[in-house]
Amino acid sequence: MKSNNSSTIEQYVHSTDEQQKLYKRSLIIVMLSQVFGGAGLAAGITVGALLAKDMLGTESFAGLPAALFTLGSALAAFVVGQLSQRYGRRYGLSFGFIAGGIGAIGVIIAANINSLALLFISLFVYGAGTATNLQARYAGTDLANEKQRATATSIAMVATTFGAVAGPNLVTPMGKVATAMNMPALAGPFILAAVAYILAGLTLFIFLRPDPLLVAKAIAAEQQKQQHTVAENVNVLQNKANRMGIFVGALVLILSHVIMVSIMTMTPVHMQGHGSNLSAIGMVIGLHVASMYLPSLGTGILVDKIGRTFVVVASGIILAAAGLVAAFAPGDSMVWITLALMLLGLGWNFGLISGTAIIIDSTNIQNRAKTQGSVDVWVALAGSAGSILSGVVVAYSSYAMLGFIGTYLALLLVPVMIWVRFKTK
C-alpha cells in the first residue's frame, strides 16, 4: 500500500503538467469542503453567545462561548498542524472537521439537558472546526508558486462564503426544526453545524488524494537533490528573513483576528438588547460573514499584484473604520450596525490573506504546516482572550467602548508595517 502511494506521488514529481492538474483538483476538493465548513462555523458565531446568555442568565459571560471555541481552536490548530506536517493535509484537516462536528453534537445534547458543564466542554471541542476551516486555506497553496499563493488562499476562502452566509440565515428555520424535535430553538443551528462539519471532514478524507502537501514535499526533496550545494551564508540570511516574516505575518493575523472576534461576538447580544429578533441578527451576521469571505478572490489578486504591505495597511484602516462605525451606531439601527460588521469582515479578510501570504513566503515545505499550525494557535488564543474581554468591556462599560478599543488596535498595523519596511531595507 505504501509503495503504491509512493509511486503515485512520484508521477507528479517529474511532471509539471501533472502538478498543475493536481493543484487545480486539490483546490476544487478544498473548495467543496469549505462550503460545508463555512456552514458549520456560522452556528457558533450567530447563536453561541445567545445560548450561553439563556443558560447562564447573565450578559457578563456572553463572550464565554466564543472564548471556549476559540480556545478549543487553538489546541486544534496545533494538533491539525502537527498531523498535517507528518501525515499530510488529508488526515489533519479531516480529523479537525470531524472533531468540530462531534463538538456540535455535544452542544445539542447540553442544550437539551441544560448542562453547563457539557456545554462548555462541547464548545471547546466544537472549536476544532473553526481552526480547521482556517487551516484549510493553506491546503490550496501547497502546489502554488510564489505569484499564486495569495490567490490560491483566496479561492479556498471564497468557497467558505456559500456555507457561511447560508448558515446565519438558516438560524430561524433550523430553530423551527429543533422546536419540532422538542429541542430548544437555539440548538437548531448546531444541528446544521454537526452535519456540515462531518461532511467537510469526509469530503477531504475521501477525495483529497494524493495529498498535495506530501507531493510538494517530494518535489522539494527532488529539487534539493539536484541543487545539493548551497552557500551556507545565504541560508543564514534567509533564516533571519524567515523569522522576521513569520513574526510580522503572525502579528497581522493576531491583531486583525482579535479585533474582528471581539466586536463580532458582542454584536448579537448588543442587537438583542435593543429589540432585534433572531432573523435580523442572523441577517447581519450573514452579511458580516459574506464580507469576511466573499471579497477573497479580489483580495488575493491585490496581495499578489500590489503587495503584502499595501493590503496590511488597508486592513488596519478598514478595521479602524469598522470600530468607529460600531461605536457611534445607534443600537437599533440595522443599517449602521450592518455597515460596521461588513467593514469588520472586509478588514479581517485583508489582514488574513496578506498575513497568510507573508507566513507562506517565510516558510519552506519542510516546516510549513507545523509553523502554520503554531501561528494559528496564537491567533486562536488571541481571539479567545478578545471574546472573554469583549463581554467584560460591554458589561462594565459599553459596546461603543469596545468599538473604540478595536479602532486603536487596528491602527497599530500601520506603524508595524512602516517599521518592517525600514527594518528590511
pLDDT, tens digit, 9 for 90 and up, residues 55-110: 777 666 666 776 787 788 888 989 999 999 899 999 999 999 999 999 999 999 99
What pLDDT is recorded for position 352?
93
How far is 344 from 407, CA to CA, in rounded Å? 10
C-alpha to C-alpha distances, 346 to 107, 271, 316, nearest whole angstrom: 30, 21, 11
- 330: how many CB neighbours lie within 10 A of its CB? 10
Q: What pLDDT, on the 0 to 100 scale, is given for residue 14?
A: 76
Cis peptide before 210 (omega within 30 of 0): yes
Q: What is the pLDDT of residue 234?
A: 45
CA angle 274, 174, 275 (to 5 degrees): 10
Residue with cell 507528518: 86
Rounded Cα gap, residues 333 and 351, in angstroms: 27
Q: CA dist 258 to 252, 337, 406, Å? A: 10, 19, 8
What is the per-residue pLDDT across 241-268, written as a single tens digit (0 to 9) for each? 588 889 999 999 999 999 999 999 888 8
pLDDT value at residue 312: 96
- Spatial CA neighbour of 163 closest among 125, 200, 137: 200
* Preceding omega of 415 cis (within 30 degrees of 0): no
pLDDT of residue 230: 47
Tell me which DSSP letter residue 187 carries: G
The segments of the chain whose pLDDT lies below 50 read: 1-4, 229-234, 236-237
User: How many residues are listed for the chain in this entry?
Assistant: 425
Give the residue carrying C-alpha cell 533571519.
240
**C-alpha span between 213 and 366 (Å, rounded):** 10
For residue 235, the model assigns a pLDDT of 52
With beta carbons less than 8 A apart as the criterion, state whether 111 and 190 touch: yes
d(CA 150, CA 354): 7
Domain 2-220+232-423: homologous superfamily in CATH: MFS general substrate transporter like domains (1.20.1250.20)
Q: Per-residue DSSP letters for 23-56? A: HHHHHHHHHHHHHHHHHHHHHHHHHHHHHHHHHH
The burial class, CB within 10 Å (0-12 / 13-18 / 19+), for 414 is: middle
User: What does pTM read for this prediction?
Assistant: 0.77
Domain ranges for the chain, please list them: 2-220+232-423
Shortest CA distance to 361 belongs to which of 75, 82, 43, 148? 148
What sign has the CA pseudo-torsion 6, 9, 14, 15? positive
Cell of 241: 528573513
Place of cell 516574516: 245
What is the rounded (10 degree) CA torsion for 314, 261, 406, 349?
Answer: 0
